[in-house]
């Protein structure tokens, strides 16, 4: 255990203390006790920047299950540190915001902060683990804590629905990802990501390589809400707003991005990786922004916007992977995509975090998030309005905000992909910049909708539940910090470039770097009159046009029928899965024992018959058989007659007597086959059984009328014939192929010598194999006690009445 391990686990430790703090200091908002932790962690991670800047990594191992190669290995490189700073930094701001957002009186703060800390620790564990199994463990913890946080207001049905949906989808992806991890382990025999990367050249041709790639991408796509798994994210907006800001914009949904970035050194360079990541990413980018416009809930817009932005980052990671397929760093302008991805990751966290907090403030101060009810808040909430302008313009990609820089770089990476002539890009590559451009226009439109529908237009106080006014200053601190970062990153982008982004790039695409080389990451707002600039101008022009004509063309959303959406598909799939498994179970679990017996017997016949036939097990020989005597034939005839009588007897008395006759014939068989003890026992047992039957005779049920006739049942007949045939065949085969000699010579020789008895059967029963007898006595004892119990129980019940 090192300081780094303590840092990762500290949120879990503090989470244990939260309920005590909550109960003993009820006058103080619990959030104040939590706030120092992420700040401390943030400062600690800041102090590590100097080492990752020089290309150093920190790797500390604590043993967990060393025998299985599963160790808690904490690993810090540029990528991990970027995410750790994001998690702790935004975490601190969100906790500060939540202190003012959540009421001390109305809400259960202890559970909230326990879940939030659980999530923070899990997220730190995900980004700072080198071991795949540990990473998976923390990954599922993030799913779990997200589930708990979405369902925080568990008395609302929509919260429960959203929580369940996100759980189903992310756990589905998480399990597939685990499958991919195990495949990686099978190929490389190690769970350490570092060691896997070293082995990449040898495993690239392995037949599990591509399946592992696809399974791991399932994990990333479900978590990061890529098409078509994005559907859980809009429903997760039922969570409290600090949660939406933290989990569903800045951190958890970026776990998938992290996973893709982390595994880029392993899988990037293959066409599968390039195409899946960039095509799904770019389509998600378009689809999310297209759908965001039709939302009427502010958080709904932001949710689809998050989907869209995540798709954008994902597509840049995919496009950047092409850089690895090229050989040298001289083609460095392909690495601009990775640079843009990392830069936009941070930018998105800043402006999306602030926008969520703004929406939370609006909700808090007006009582609604519906843009149809809102309007004209500009004069009432000037600070909120300013922050939202900054956030939304940054999201739309306008200067002087950081979104402009990352959007420019996004365009340039998309344009340059056209020039590549690998992976079939010469024909399909042109689609990327076009889709990206169209998606950006929609992004511009919904960003404008978000701000101007809320803050300008007609003020409608009659539709609002509360009288709106500016938020308390405590609530505004966090969004103000984030919004100022939005501007700072624009004017001083190189503040981040060599400190944070360059080390992160080095860990995503290490292959293109030689020893001691560094990426050239100069980010500047002005490139001259390039194609990117004209594209942005086009986005703004068409975006403004689209915004003002929104009413005219928003009819296109009605062309997509509601029931064809993925949400309906998900609901229908869940419903039909439920229904069909119910029907399937009802179909075969009829409750009738007869049906179950039919299944069992059929299975018995099919399995034994097939294996007998397939393996050629049947054989028949008369060698060593005893000769057939006349007595045995007569007794066999008696058994046949007795059995048939008991089968078809019309009265139960005949049946019972026929059964008795079979029993007595069996004991006569025992006499013939020289088994005196058996004959004795069988005779007495049969007598007692028949006596028992007769004792119960008056109480026993009469055979039912329909069965009195020869009511012949063909299926039953065929099944029973099959069972008998199989038993006969097996017995004949076994009899014809005796493998080894009997061990009974030992009993014959030693019965007298060792045990001092001449009756071998009895000696075996009480001496050689006495334990059998002991428990057979126990069985009889239990049976008699059971019978006694059954009869006594009835008496007692009648007394009660």
Q: Which is nearer to another protein, 534 or 717 (CB)?
A: 717
Interface segment toward another protein; rule CB under 8 A; list 24-32, 150-158, 287-295, 723-731: 723-731
Q: What is the DSSP letter of 500?
A: I
Site string for another protein, 771-800 (x = CB under 8 A): -xx--x--xx-xxx-xx--xx--x------
How far is Cα 244 from Cα 359, in angstroms, rounded to an integer?
Answer: 10
- Spatial separation of the C-alpha atoms in residues 277 and 220, rounded to whole Å: 10
Interior angle at CA 411, CA 405 and CA 416, nearest 5: 125
Enter the DSSP assignment of 471. Answer: P
Structure tokens at 721: 């014939």
The Cα–Cα gap between 406 and 181 comes to 32
Residue 473 makes contact with another protein by CB under 8 A: no
Token pair for 141: 């913890």
Ranges of beta strands (E only) in 610-740 are: none
Nearer to another protein, 3 or 780 (CB): 780
Residues in contact with another protein, shown as a per-residue x/- string from 381 to 410 under the rule CB under 8 A? ------------------------------
Q: Cβ of residue 452: shortest distance to another protein, in angstroms? A: 57
> Closest separation between CB of residue 603 and another protein, Å?
13
Instruction: Kindly state the smallest distance separating residue 614's Cβ from another protein, in Å.
Output: 21
Q: Least separation, in Å, of the C-beta of 663 and another protein?
A: 7
Residues 534-593 that bind another protein (CB under 8 A): 586, 589-593
- Give the span between the Cα atoms of 461 and 373, in whole angstroms: 9
Q: Find the binder of another protein among 725, 754, 799, 800 (CB under 8 A).
A: 725
For residue 228, cis peptide bond before it (omega within 30 degrees of 0): yes
Site for another protein in 188-217 (CB under 8 A): none
Three-state DSSP string of 189-238:
CCCEHHHHHHCHHHHCCCCCHHHHHHHHHHHHHHHCCCCCHHHHHHHHHH
Nearer to another protein, 422 or 780 (CB): 780
CB of 767 to another protein, least distance (A): 10
CA torsion, ordered 420, 439, 242, 448, to nearest 10 deg: 140
Q: Which of 387, 404, 396, 392 is nearest to 489 (CA)?
A: 404
Interaction with another protein in 617-656: which residues (CB under 8 A)? 622, 624-629, 632-633, 636, 639-640, 643-644, 646-647, 652, 655-656
Least distance to another protein from the beta carbon of 590, Å? 7
> Smallest gap, in angstroms, from Cβ of residue 741 to another protein?
11
Strand, coil or helix: 35? coil
Closer CB to another protein, residue 550 or residue 755? Answer: 755
Give the nearest distance from C-beta 284 to another protein in angstroms. Answer: 44
Interface with another protein (CB under 8 A), residue total 98
Q: Which of residues 427-456 bind another protein (CB under 8 A)?
A: none
In the beta sheet, which residues pair with residue 370?
Answer: 297
Q: Taking the complex as a whole, how short is the minimal distance between the CB of residue 747 and another protein, in angstroms?
A: 5
Contacts (CB under 8 A) with another protein, residues 674-693: 674-678, 681-682, 685, 688-689, 692-693
Give the orientation angle of helix 652-672 with respect to helix 630-648, to 10 degrees: 160
Q: By CB neighbour count within 10 A (0-12 exposed, 13-18 middle, 19+ buried), where does 18 fall?
A: buried
Residue 244: which of 444, 103, 90 has the closest Cα? 90
Considering the complex, state which of residue 577 and residue 727 has its C-beta at the smaller distance from another protein.
727
Q: Which two tokens stand for residue 235?
A: 């429903």
Q: 422, 531, 544, 748: which one contacts another protein (CB under 8 A)? A: 748
Per-residue x/- track, 345-384, another protein (CB under 8 A): ----------------------------------------
Which residue from 568, 721, 737, 792 is in contact with another protein, where contact means CB under 8 A? 721
Query: Beta 58-65 vs 70-76: how paired, if at all?
Result: antiparallel
Q: In Å, how far are 51, 146, 151, 487 from 159, measured between CA atoms?
A: 43, 12, 5, 35
Minimum distance between the CB of residue 577 and another protein, rounded to whole angstroms? 19
188 within 8 A of 206, measured Cβ to Cβ: no
Q: Of residues 694-713, which lie at the interface with another protein (CB under 8 A)? A: 696, 699-701, 703-704, 707, 713
């Amino acid at each position: 255990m090192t300081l780094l391990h303590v840092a990762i686990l500290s949120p879990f430790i503090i989470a244990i203390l939260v309920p005590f703090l909550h109960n003993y200091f009820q006058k103080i908002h619990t959030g104040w006790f939590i706030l120092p932790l992420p700040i401390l962690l943030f400062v600690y991670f800041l102090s590590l920047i100097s080492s990752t800047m020089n290309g150093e990594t920190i790797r500390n191992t604590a043993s967990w299950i060393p025998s299985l190669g599963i160790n808690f290995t904490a690993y810090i490189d540029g990528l991990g540190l970027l995410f750790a700073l994001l998690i702790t930094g935004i975490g601190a701001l969100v906790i500060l915001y939540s202190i003012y957002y959540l009421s001390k009186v109305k809400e259960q703060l202890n559970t909230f902060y326990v879940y939030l800390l659980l999530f923070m620790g899990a997220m730190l564990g995900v980004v700072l683990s080198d071991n795949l199994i540990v990473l998976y463990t923390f990954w599922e913890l993030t799913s779990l804590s997200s589930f708990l946080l979405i369902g925080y207001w568990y008395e609302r049905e929509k919260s429960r629905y959203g929580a369940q949906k996100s759980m189903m989808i992310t756990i589905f992806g998480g399990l597939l990802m685990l499958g991919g991890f195990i495949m990686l382990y099978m190929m490389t025999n190690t769970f350490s990501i570092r060691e896997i990367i070293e082995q990449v050249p040898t495993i690239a041709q392995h037949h599990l390589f591509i399946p592992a790639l696809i399974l791991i991408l399932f994990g990333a796509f479900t978590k990061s809400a890529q098409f078509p798994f994005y559907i859980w994210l809009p429903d997760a907006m039922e969570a409290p707003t600090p949660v939406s800001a933290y989990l569903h914009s800045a951190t958890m949904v970026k776990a998938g991005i992290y996973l893709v970035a982390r595994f880029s050194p392993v899988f990037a360079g293959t066409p599968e990786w390039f195409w899946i990541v960039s095509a799904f990413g770019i389509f998600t980018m378009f689809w999310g922004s297209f759908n965001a416009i039709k939302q009427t809930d502010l958080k709904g817009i932001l949710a689809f916007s998050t989907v869209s932005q995540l798709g954008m980052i994902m597509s840049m990671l995919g496009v950047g992977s092409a850089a690895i397929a090229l050989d040298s760093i001289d083609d460095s302008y392909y690495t601009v995509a990775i640079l843009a991805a990392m830069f936009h990751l941070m930018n998105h966290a800043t402006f999306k975090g602030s926008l969520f907090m703004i929406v939370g403030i609006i909700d808090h101060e007006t009582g609604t998030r519906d843009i149809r009810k809102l309007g004209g808040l500009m004069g009432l909430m000037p600070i909120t309005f300013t922050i939202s302008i900054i956030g939304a313009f940054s999201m739309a990609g306008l200067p002087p905000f950081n979104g402009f820089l990352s959007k420019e770089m996004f365009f340039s990476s998309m344009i340059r992909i056209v020039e590549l002539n690998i992976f079939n890009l010469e024909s399909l590559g042109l689609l990327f910049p076009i889709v990206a451009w169209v998606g950006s226009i929609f992004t511009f439109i919904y960003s404008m909708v978000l701000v101007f529908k809320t803050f300008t237009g007609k003020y409608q106080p009659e539709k609002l539940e509360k009288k709106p006014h500016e938020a308390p200053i405590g609530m505004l601190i966090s969004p103000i910090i984030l919004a100022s970062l939005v501007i700072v990153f624009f004017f001083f982008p190189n503040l981040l470039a060599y400190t944070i982004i360059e080390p992160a790039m080095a860990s995503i695409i290490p292959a293109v770097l030689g020893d001691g080389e560094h990426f050239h990451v100069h980010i500047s707002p002005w490139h001259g009159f390039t194609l990117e600039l004209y594209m942005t101008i086009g986005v703004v022009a068409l975006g403004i046009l689209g915004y003002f004509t929104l009413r005219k063309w928003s009819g296109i959303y009605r062309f997509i029928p509601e029931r064809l959406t993925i949400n309906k598909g998900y609901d229908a799939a869940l419903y039909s899965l439920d229904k069909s498994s119910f029907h399937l179970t009802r179909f075969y679990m009829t409750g009738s024992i007869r049906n179950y017996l039919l299944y069992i017997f059929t299975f018995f016949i099919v399995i034994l018959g097939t294996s007998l036939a397939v393996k050629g097990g049947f054989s028949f020989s008369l060698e060593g058989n005893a000769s057939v005597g006349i007595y045995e034939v007569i007794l066999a005839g008696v058994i046949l007659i007795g059995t048939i009588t008991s089968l078809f007897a019309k009265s139960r008395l005949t049946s019972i007597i026929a059964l008795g006759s079979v029993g007595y014939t069996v004991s006569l068989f025992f006499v013939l086959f020289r088994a005196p003890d058996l004959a004795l026992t069988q005779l007495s047992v049969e007598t007692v059984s028949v006596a028992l039957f007769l004792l119960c005779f008056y109480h026993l049920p009469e055979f039912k009328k329909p069965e009195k006739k020869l009511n012949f049942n063909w299926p039953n007949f065929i099944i029973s014939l099959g069972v008998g045939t199989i038993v006969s065949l097996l017995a004949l085969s076994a009899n014809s192929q005796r493998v080894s000699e009997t061990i009974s010579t030992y009993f014959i020789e030693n019965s007298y010598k060792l045990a001092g008895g001449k009756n071998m059967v009895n000696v075996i029963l009480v001496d050689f194999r006495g334990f059998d007898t002991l428990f057979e006595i126990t069985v009889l004892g239990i049976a008699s006690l059971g019978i006694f119990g059954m009869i006594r129980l009835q008496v007692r019940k009648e007394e009660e009445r």
